[in-house]
Amino acid sequence: MLKKLGTLALGIALPLALAIAGPAAAEVRDQTIKFASANNKGHPQVTGMEKFAELVKEKSGGKIEVKLFPGGTLGGDVQTIAALQGGVIEMTVLNAGILASNAKQFGAVDLPFLFNSGEEADKVMDGPFGASLMELLPDTGLVGLAYWELGFRNLTNNRHPVTKLDDIKGLKIRTIQSPIPVELFNALGANAVPLPYTELYTALETGTVDGQENPAANILNAKFYEVQRYMTLTRHQYNPQIVLISKKFWDDLNDEEKAVLQQAAVEARDFQRKVSREADAAALDEIRQTGMEISELSPEETQKLRDAVKPLIEKFSADIGQETVQTLFKEIGAARGQ
């Protein structure tokens, strides 16, 4: 169950209190942070990491060095979470929904067709709902610093154009290692195959899977267009990303050091989201230039997809917690001015 506003206020007040205190450079100690991610250099996720490292260096007077390990060099997302919990790696950024295996309420952000825009998602994730999810993390050995963006996911495959629901049936589609995406594509008639992102290109190249689903920036950055012929703008799911730090590491930091990292994560968030949205639009144009065939679903076919996944929403709402899901939809309504 989500904690109420009393405890929520604590989660919001801590970063503010730290910000007011301000980083006293003389009290910040020399140290190095390993910051890992699955995407490659040039991806908006990694661009955000680079901005974060730059801000931390500036705010710490050069005492805290953030070393970046993009491209899954330290392992896939699930493996990296375990490394953070063990204190082997200090930081990562990944899709927030992956944390459903650590705290089931995070599954709510993986529900399909939630948001109409990134700006709408910002209001929800930066508000009480997103803060209440972060409050669940310390008990799992993790601490959340900010929500960044991966964006809206779209479908690609190497067998045929997908212009209607029936075209999805029978396709072997790689999904992230999280229950909702797996059941989402099974509900649409595909055969979902959960795999680490680091293994995806090879799985597409060898035909282990027919297709995958990711935002346009990922499709371009990972060069999936080399091993996929067809893309469909399904926008079936929006992925907020979460910047995580190992609780073991966090607990050993003093207030000044915590303030440096918290402030840098939030400042980098605004930069990263802007880069992500600009990259998404530009990536579509570049993908077209590679010769990949891009299709759009009609409103009628999009509604068929929405109808096909309604039972999934009902099922997972029970698993996630009705209160959590109701709070999420209430926050989305507020973001839309309803």
Pairing mode, strands 230-246 and 293-296: parallel
User: Which uninterrupted H or E stretch holds 262?
Assistant: helix 255-289
Query: 263 in a domain, yes or no?
Result: yes
C-alpha triplet 335, 39, 125: angle, nearest 5°:
15
Closest CA to 91 of 72, 64, 66: 66
Specify the range with the lowest mean pLDDT, choosing from 14-18, 141-145, 248-252, 258-262. Answer: 14-18
Range of the domain at 48: 9-20+30-335
pLDDT mean over 125-134 = 97
Residue 25 located in a structural domain: no
Q: Total domain count for the chain?
A: 1
Classify residue 2: in a domain, yes or no.
no
139-175 pLDDT, tens per residue?
999 999 999 999 999 999 999 999 999 999 999 999 9
The answer to whether residue 148 is domain-embedded is: yes
The angle that helices 118-125 and 322-335 make with each other, rounded to 10 degrees, is 120
- Give me the mean pLDDT over the 285-312 stretch: 95
Chain segment 190-199, per-residue pLDDT in tens: 999 999 999 9
The Cα–Cα gap between 131 and 212 comes to 31
Give the span between the Cα atoms of 53 and 33, in whole angstroms. Answer: 9
Which alpha helices (DSSP H) does 165-254 contain, by range? 179-187, 200-206, 216-221, 247-251
The answer as to whether 72 is a domain residue is yes
Q: What is the DSSP letter of 168?
A: G
pTM of the predicted protein model: 0.86
Tokens of 276: 């992500």
Give the pLDDT score at 177: 85
Q: How many other β-carbons are positioned within 10 Å of the β-carbon of residue 321? A: 17
Give domain status of residue 307, yes or no. Answer: yes
- The reply to whether 114 falls in a domain is yes
CATH code of the domain containing 109: 3.40.190.170
Q: How far is CA 76 from CA 95, 176, 223, 273, 285, in A?
A: 12, 11, 18, 23, 29
Residue 3 lies in a domain: no
Looking at residue 53, its amino acid is A
Question: On the CB side of 76, how many CA atoms lie within 13 Å of its CA?
Answer: 12
Tokens for 41, please give them: 């250099």
Backbone phi and psi for residue 142, each to the nearest 5 degrees, phi listed first: -130, 155
